[in-house]
Structure 1
Amino acid sequence: MKSTDIHPADYDSHGRLKLPFLFWCVLLLQARTWVLFVIAGASRGQGDALLTLFYPDHDAFWLGLLPGMPAALAFLLSGRRARFPQLWRAMYVLLLLAQLLLLVWQFWRWFSGEAVSGTALGLVIADSVALWWWLTNRRLRACFTTDAD
C-alpha cells in the first residue's frame, strides 16, 4: 500500500470515508464564538462577564459569529453529506475560506489597536495550524470529494 492510499479502517460500514477527528476539532475552533455564546447563555448571570472577558468590544462578538456559520452548517450537514453531495463539496472551500478569514481577522484586530494577548496569540497559532491541515490533509479532501460520488 502506498503512503498516499487511504487505509481501509478509515471507511465506515457503508463504504464512506469517516471524517477525521481533527475535522471536528477544527470545526469547534472555527465556531468558537458560537461555543462561547452557548456557554454564556447556559451560565445564567455570569454570561455577560464571560462575553466581556473574551470580547470586550461587543461589536467584535457579533462579527465573530459570522465566520463560525459555515462550521455550524458543516456540523448539521455532515450526517447528510450523501444526500446533498454538491453542497457538501462546496463546504470544503467555504470552510477553508472561513479558516483564512479567521486568521486574517485576528491580525486586522491587532492592527486596529487591540492588545496582543496570550489567548489571541494562541488562537493565531491554532488557526495557522488548522489552515495548514485543511490544505495538506489528503484524507480530508477525499472526504469532500469521494463521499458524494
Structure 2
Amino acid sequence: MKSTEIYPADYDNHGRLKLPFLFWCVLLLQARTWVLFVIAGTSRGQGDALLALFYPDHDDFWLGLLPGIPAALTFLLSGRREHFPRLWRALYPLVLLAQLVLLVWQPWRWYTGEALSGVGLFLVIADLFALWWLAANRRLRACFSLAQH
C-alpha cells in the first residue's frame, strides 16, 4: 500500500505545508481563459484572431473567465494564507466547484453545437484528472485545513 504520510521536507521555513507543484498546474488549467486573455492582450494586432480561434462565441469567452476567479484568488492569497485563514479555507471548495464547472462546460459546448476537437477532448481529460487530484490529494487538503493556521 502506498504511504500517504506528510514528510518534514513538505514544510517550508515558516512551518506551513508547501502547496504541491501539481496544484499550480491545476490553477493554470482553471485560469486558462485568463491566460489566453493575457496572451491575446500582449500580442500586437493578433489578439482578436487568437481569441476568435479559441472562443468563436464571445459569450463563451466571458463565461470562461468566471471559473478562473477562484484560481486567481488562490494564487494571490497563497503566500499570505495565514493572514486570511477563513478566506483561505473557503477557497478549497470554490476551486473544486470551479473544476467541476469546467469539466461539465466543455461537453455542454459540444452538446450545443460546437465541433468536437482534439483540444476539447484533451481539456475534458485534463479537467477530469484535475478534479480527481484536487479531491484525492491528502497533502493539498491539509494545506487548506484549519490546523494549518
TM exceeding 0.5: yes
Q: Which amino acid aligns with 1:49?
A: A
- Mind listing any 5+ residue stretches in structure 2 that lack a counterpart? none
Q: Which amino acid aligns with 1:45?
A: G
Question: Which position in structure 2 is the counterpart of 1:126?
Answer: 126
Q: Which amino acid aligns with 1:83?
A: H
| Separation of aligned partners in 1, 2:44 and 2:75 | 26
Question: Which position in structure 1 is the counterpart of 2:70?
Answer: 70
| Separation of aligned partners in 1, 2:14 and 2:73 | 23
Structure 1 segment 45-84 matched on structure 2, within 5 A: 45-84=45-84
Q: Which amino acid aligns with 1:87?
A: L
Question: Which position in structure 2 is the counterpart of 1:3?
Answer: 3
Deviation at 1:4, TM superposition (A): 2.7
Give the root-mean-square deviation of aligned CA atoms.
1.0
Deviation at 1:147, TM superposition (A): 2.2
Tell me, yes or no, if the aligned pair for 1:17 and 1:147 is still in contact at 8 Å: yes
| Separation of aligned partners in 1, 2:148 and 2:138 | 13
In the superposition, the TM-score normalised over structure 1's length comes to 0.96
| Separation of aligned partners in 2, 1:147 and 1:102 | 28
Question: Which position in structure 2 is the counterpart of 1:147?
Answer: 148
| Separation of aligned partners in 1, 2:44 and 2:4 | 49
The sequence identity of aligned pairs, in percent, is 79
Question: Which position in structure 2 is the counterpart of 1:85?
Answer: 85
Tell me, yes or no, if the aligned pair for 1:89 and 1:144 is still in contact at 8 Å: yes
In the superposition, the TM-score normalised over structure 2's length comes to 0.96
| Separation of aligned partners in 2, 1:75 and 1:12 | 17
| Separation of aligned partners in 2, 1:124 and 1:44 | 30
Aligned to 2:67, the other structure's residue is in SS state: helix
Deviation at 1:127, TM superposition (A): 0.2
Deviation at 1:15, TM superposition (A): 0.8
- Mind listing any 5+ residue stretches in structure 1 that lack a counterpart? none
| Separation of aligned partners in 2, 1:10 and 1:104 | 33
Tell me, yes or no, if the aligned pair for 1:70 and 1:94 is still in contact at 8 Å: yes
Q: Which amino acid aligns with 2:13?
A: S
Aligned to 2:45, the other structure's residue is in SS state: helix
Tell me, yes or no, if the aligned pair for 1:96 and 1:134 is still in contact at 8 Å: yes
Aligned to 1:35, the other structure's residue is in SS state: helix
Aligned to 1:44, the other structure's residue is in SS state: coil
Question: Which position in structure 1 is the counterpart of 2:113?
Answer: 113
Question: Which position in structure 2 is the counterpart of 1:19?
Answer: 19
Q: Which amino acid aligns with 1:59?
A: D
